[in-house]
Structure 1
Amino acid sequence: MTPRILIVLTSHRLLGQTGRATGFHFEELATPYWAFRDAGFAVEIASIQGGAAPVDPGSHPGDPSRLPASVARFLGDQGAIDALATTAAIDTVQAEAFDGVFLPGGHGTMWDLPTNAALARLVGAIFDAGGAVGAVCHGPAGLVGARRADGRPIVEGRRVNSFTNAEEAAIGLTEAMPFLLETRLTELGGRFEGGPDFRAFAVRDGNLVTGQNPASAGAVAAHVVDIVRALGARAAA
């Protein structure tokens, strides 16, 4: 049976009180999307509210020559564009339909992913079932509310990573954030491991994979593919 991966995007459009637009980071969607598709997986895109998810304008340069290859490929694929324009609302999605979930970043995630009960239930259920849970950059904001069946945070006792406090300070958005993600994951019992600022860095602990920044999206996706393939191999044995 074809493995199925759910990608969940933010629906939040405003960067705090700055007056600036935000949303999801396009490369953090497109790179995993193609990694999963090229692995032969079926991919569904959902968002917190459903419908067209907002793109962080900083991740979508107007000059086509400056687009990351995965984003250019996404924008050139009508099926991918249609999927992005018609995302399912997260509260309509059933965890048991998927072998893994992936949470791209973008600063919008910091507002609507941590407090969404439907997302928390879905991520917790996939985690408890042994499915792959991947998140990159600010996407681990969607792990904040997720709990195991026994009520403990899924990050508790696990090696985790995300956009770091140092990186947030370097881009001047510390004060704009509702909280600092590295700090919150640590408060939840995560064993935070950070890499060099703005360099690719990913951490895998069991079926949980987290990455630090846009450059890390491919590494996180590769781990998710490995986890899902291993699940399939065990099921077939």
Structure 2
Amino acid sequence: MAEQGSAVEHAQRAGQQRAAKEQAPGKQRESGEQQAGQQRQAAQPSQQRQQEQQAQQEQQAREAAWPGSGPPAAAQSAAQRVVFVGAESTGKSTLAEYLARVYDSVSVPEIGRFIWEQKQGKLDADDYVDIALKHRQAEDEAMQRARRWLFVDTNALTTLLLGLQFGQVTPPAPAELLRCADECAARYAHTFVCADDIPYEEQEVRENEAWRGRIQRLVLQDLEARGIPYTIVRGSVEERAAQVMGVLDARPPA
């Protein structure tokens, strides 16, 4: 009986040893998986921190590269409006677009030109109010993308002046149009007058040389009467751009 008991105990111990051996690889795999999971979890915060640091460094690099690649929010806070005025065919739109490329910014076209063409020149006082308001709206939207300078072709002063000269706005002019014109003095960081020293551009909607000269004189008289400082730019597009840049680059940052 003792031998049988000893044999049974021996068999039980052998079975337990085999079971332990069979379970050992599974436990080792489970332990290995747990360790790998813990390592992945430990690595995630580190990777996240690295990504955050990299994003912060990229942001700082963009801000340091101002004005060429600064973020839109920073651009908007620092951007200032620059307006080009003058009679028809004096190169305002060409100069505004040229300088927008130079400064990696944007320009605003003359909204009144589009409305004039759509209505074939048949405008009334309400249309001129609409032109002034839509032009201001276009400026405000462009400020979201502007970098340092927003280059604007024409403003409400010229809109009012042309309406009066065409006889499509009669005194008293609409209060909203007058308000937009009056606010031009403070709205723009600097006003540039494009001289009428370039060849007249013959188009159906454009006036003759005599008319252009008359409007040019009225633009200058209006600026003088309102006490708005201005700079006249002359010559080719490149020469005018150099004159504008000389004025703007001498101004302190906003």
**Band of TM-score, shorter chain:** 0.3 to 0.5
Instruction: Choose 1 or 2 for highest CA Rg.
Output: 2
- Return the structure number with greater helix share: 2
TM score, norm. by length of structure 1: 0.37
Which structure is higher in strand share? 1
